[in-house]
Each structure stands twice: as C-alpha cells, then as structure tokens.
C-alpha cells in the first residue's frame, strides 16, 4: 500500500466508471494518498494520436489497454501498489488485473448520482478539449450525446459480475465530498481488506 507500510501484497486500486464520472480526479487523489504510481489508460491512448489514420480506433484502444496492463504488472512484480485509471468496462480487463501475481485488487467504482452535474462536468471538459485542439483527451466523449452513444455501444457489458473482488462505490457528484475525502475513504477500505488478507 503506502511505500512505508508495504509489507503485505501489492495493491491494485482499479478505477471503474464511465467517462466524466470523476474517476481521474479521484484516482489522482487516491494515488497521492497511497504514495503510489498512477497508471492512466488515457495517457497511453493520447499518445496514439499519430497512429489514428493508420489503424482502427478499436485496435489502438486495445493496444492502450495492453500497455497499461503490462506497466501495472511490472510495478506489482516490483512490489509496488498502483492506481489504475481506466473505465474497466469489460470483465476481461478485471480478469487481467486479478491475475497479477501477489496483488490484492480492489475496485473503486465512480457512479455519479447527480446526472446534471455529471453532464455539466463532461461537457465542460469537452469545451476545454475543443478549444485546445488535439492532444489530451481528443478521443474522449465531449458531449452528453457522445457519452450516451458510447454507453449504448457497450451493450450492457460494463455491468458484469465482479465475484469476490472488493469494491467500493462512490458518488462523485456529492457536493459534500471532495477528492481528498474520497481518497481517505478508499485508503480506509484498502487497509481493511489488507488486514483481512493477512
């Protein structure tokens, strides 16, 4: 877990949720609180922009996941805990993480209960990306309509059974809870599961 506390297994904090749900903000706060690397799928995907005309978007997306899982595996093999920021939209993605050697995987699912606030944040981010041109986030939905089409394209595969993987579900639109409070809640959740696993 924290660099100075790590005596048990490495912990993989796997973020889960749709675009604009507050995953990245929460992930940054959690990684800071845990003093561990943050691996963001979007960082990898953003680097594929020069290849966009040469390969199908789906192929580049899967390549981004493959790189993310490889880097996560390397960190875990070094005994480091990591926060993995991705939508975790398919069961096979979770299965890849749960197969990492000697790692406790916990899911932090971001579910915004206030749809209007979620929509506002998503579209605000879309305006920022559009005004800056290509670059960070060029592949993310920029409007609520784009998000709805993306979710529809998932055809329900994002709502899969997670088995016995510990999961905490957070309302990231609750105005009484900030990113540091979310991080503190997740750190407590991780610590309780580490204590149970020893």
What integer is the mean pLDDT of 86-102? 89
Q: Which CATH architecture has domain 10-114+156-192?
A: 3-Layer(aba) Sandwich (3.40)
Instruction: Judge whether residue 2 has pLDDT over 50.
Output: no
Asked if 125 contacts 42 with a C-beta cutoff of 8 angstroms, the reply is: no
DSSP H stretches of helix in the chain: 23-34, 41-46, 57-77, 91-98, 115-132, 144-154, 179-197
Instruction: Judge whether residue 5 has pLDDT over 60.
Output: no
For residues 103-123, one letter each, b for 16 or more C-beta atoms within 10 angstroms of the residue's C-beta and e for the rest, the string is bbbbbbbbebeeeebbeebbb
Q: Comparing C-alpha atoms, which of 77, 76, 74, 88 is closest to residue 21?
A: 88
First to last CA, the chain: 13
Instruction: Judge whether residue 18 has pLDDT over 80.
Output: yes
Q: What pLDDT, in 10s, does the model give residues 118-166? A: 999 888 877 766 666 544 566 677 888 888 888 887 777 788 899 999 9
Instruction: Judge whether residue 14 has pLDDT over 70.
Output: yes
Q: What pLDDT, in 10s, does the model give residues 175-195? A: 999 999 999 999 999 999 988
């Amino acid at each position: 877990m924290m660099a100075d506390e790590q005596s048990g297994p490495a912990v993989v904090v796997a973020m889960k949720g749709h675009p604009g749900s507050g995953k990245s903000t929460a992930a940054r706060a959690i990684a800071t609180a845990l003093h561990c690397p943050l691996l963001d799928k979007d960082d990898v995907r953003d680097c594929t922009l020069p290849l966009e005309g040469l390969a199908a978007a789906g192929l580049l997306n899967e390549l981004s996941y493959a790189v993310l899982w490889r880097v996560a595996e390397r960190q875990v093999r070094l005994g480091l805990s990591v926060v993995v920021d991705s939508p975790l939209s398919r069961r096979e993605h979770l299965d890849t993480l749960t197969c990492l050697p000697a790692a406790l995987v916990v899911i932090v699912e971001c579910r915004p209960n206030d749809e209007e606030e979620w929509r506002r944040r998503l579209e605000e981010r879309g305006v920022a990306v559009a005004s800056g041109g290509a670059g960070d986030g060029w592949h993310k939905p920029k409007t609520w309509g784009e998000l709805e089409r993306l979710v529809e394209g998932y055809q329900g595969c994002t709502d899969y059974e997670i088995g016995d993987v510990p999961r905490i579900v957070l309302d990231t639109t609750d105005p009484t809870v900030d990113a540091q409070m979310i991080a503190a809640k997740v750190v407590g959740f991780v610590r309780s599961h580490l204590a149970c696993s020893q």
